[in-house]
Amino acid sequence: MGIHIKSEKEILLMRDSGKVLSDILSEIEKKIVVGITTFEIEMELRKLLKKNKVKSPFLGYRGYPAVSCISVNEVVVHGIPSDYIIKDGDIVSVDMGVNYRGFITDAARTFLVGNVSKEGIKLVDVTKRSFYEGAKMAVEGNHLYDISFMIQKTVEKEGFSIVRDFVSHGVGRRLHEEPFFQNFGEKGKGPILKYGMCLAVEPMVNQGTYRIKILKDGWTAVTEDGKLSAHYENTVLVGKDTFEILTEKN
- Ordered alpha helix ranges (H), 95-233: 118-135, 144-157
Answer yes or no: are the C-beta atoms of 45 and 24 closer than 8 Å.
Answer: yes
Helix ranges restricted to H, 109-187: 118-135, 144-157
Residues belonging to the binding site for a divalent metal cation are 95, 106, 169, 202, 233
- The answer to whether 89 and 114 are in contact (CB under 8 A) is yes
Contact 108, 232 (CB under 8 A): yes
Paired strand residues for 100: 103
Q: Give binding residues for substrate as ranges.
A: 78, 176
Q: Count the Cβ atoms, other than its own, within 10 Å of residue 119.
A: 13
Binding residues: 78, 95, 106, 169, 176, 202, 233
Q: Order of strands, edge to edge, in the sheet holding 103-112?
A: 68-72, 91-100, 103-112
Comparing C-alpha atoms, which of 169, 107, 116, 177 is closest to residue 144? 169
Beta bridge partners of 54: none
